[in-house]
């Protein structure tokens, strides 16, 4: 895959490797599914605390699997009209599409929506002005938050946009902080990450670090 970056004729190699990985991962899903069944059946069998949740998981798992594999409500594709299961997996109006649209998506959206509350509680804790650095963080966050709201624009609207002090307008300050300080910090982290990835990859390729395989011994 490294070579394919430099030699155009080998560009397809990376895609081939990725395809092979996807095939392996598909087989591994059977392993994961088997493990899920085993674990929750054990929980139900030994009636550990919360075993009822395991029942719900197993019922949902099996029901979704049957609906998905059975392709209920799916018509054959136009290309192969005589092959019963040739239609797409998840078209609108199919049973599997219904499960996705009306069960999975709302549940996922609910979990995602909770993030707003978690951000509020984390911000409340992070922005306490315990020391000078924390005060700087708080002040910067305050400028950014205000600069991105109508209130922030309104507060400093008395500064003429064409005057030499226009940069003090909160929306301008907010953009400046994000573009200069934030970008600089982000890039510094990104450079460190890139070097770390290169070094780690090299260690793995050379077999210097094999702890992820369960052993660092020779």
Binding residues (CB under 8 A) for other proteins: these are: 2, 5-9, 21, 24-25, 28-33, 35-36, 39, 42, 49-50, 53, 104, 107-108, 111-112, 114-115, 118-119, 121-123, 125-126, 186, 189-193, 195-204, 206, 208-209, 211-216
String of DSSP letters for 178-199: IIIIIHHHHHHHHHHHHHHHHH
Instruction: State which residue, 114 or 151, has the beta carbon closest to other proteins.
Output: 114
Residue 35 beta carbon to other proteins: minimum distance, rounded to whole angstroms: 5
Instruction: State which residue, 160 or 192, has the beta carbon closest to other proteins.
Output: 192
Structure tokens given for 107: 């549940």
* Residue carrying structure tokens 């395991």: 54
Instruction: State which residue, 28 or 139, has the beta carbon closest to other proteins.
Output: 28
Task: Output the CA–CA distances (angstroms, integers) from residue 158 to 139, 149, 172, in the order listed.
Answer: 21, 16, 13
String of DSSP letters for 56-107: HHHHHHHHHHHHHHHTTT-PPPSSSTTSTT-S-SS-TTSHHHHHIIIIIHHH
Distance CA 141, CA 68 (A): 47
String of DSSP letters for 116-171: HHHHHHHHHHHT---SHHHHHHHHHHHHHHHHTSHHHHHHTTTS-TTSTTGGGSHH
Residue 38 beta carbon to other proteins: minimum distance, rounded to whole angstroms: 8
Residue 93 beta carbon to other proteins: minimum distance, rounded to whole angstroms: 22
Instruction: State which residue, 86 or 90, has the beta carbon closest to other proteins.
Output: 90
Q: Give the residue from 79, 75, 109 showing the smallest Cα distance to 95.
A: 75
Instruction: State which residue, 83 or 134, has the beta carbon closest to other proteins.
Output: 134
Residue 166 beta carbon to other proteins: minimum distance, rounded to whole angstroms: 22
The kind and range of the H/E element at 53 are helix 51-70
Instruction: State which residue, 162 or 215, has the beta carbon closest to other proteins.
Output: 215
Residue 128 beta carbon to other proteins: minimum distance, rounded to whole angstroms: 11
Residue 123 beta carbon to other proteins: minimum distance, rounded to whole angstroms: 7
């Amino acid at each position: 895959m490294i070579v394919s970056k430099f030699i155009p004729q080998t560009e397809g190699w990376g895609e081939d490797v990725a395809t092979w990985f996807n095939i392996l991962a598909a087989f591994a899903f059977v392993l994961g599914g088997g493990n899920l069944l085993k674990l929750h059946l054990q929980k139900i069998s030994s009636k550990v605390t919360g075993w009822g949740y395991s029942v719900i998981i197993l019922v949902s798992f099996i029901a979704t699997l049957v609906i998905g594999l059975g392709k209920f409500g799916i018509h054959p594709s136009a290309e192969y009209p005589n092959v019963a299961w040739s239609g797409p997996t998840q078209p609108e109006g199919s049973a599997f599409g219904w499960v996705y649209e009306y069960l999975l998506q709302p549940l996922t959206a609910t979990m995602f929506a909770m993030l707003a509350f978690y951000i509020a509680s984390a911000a409340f804790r992070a922005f306490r002005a315990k020391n000078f650095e924390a005060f700087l963080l708080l002040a910067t966050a305050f400028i950014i938050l205000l600069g991105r709201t109508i209130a922030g624009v309104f507060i400093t609207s008395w500064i003429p946009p064409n005057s030499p002090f226009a940069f003090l307008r909160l929306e301008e300050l907010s953009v400046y902080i994000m573009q200069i300080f934030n970008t600089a910090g982000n890039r510094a982290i990104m450079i460190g990450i890139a070097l770390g990835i290169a070094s780690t990859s090299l260690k793995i390729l050379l077999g210097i670090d094999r702890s992820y395989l369960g052993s660092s011994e020779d």
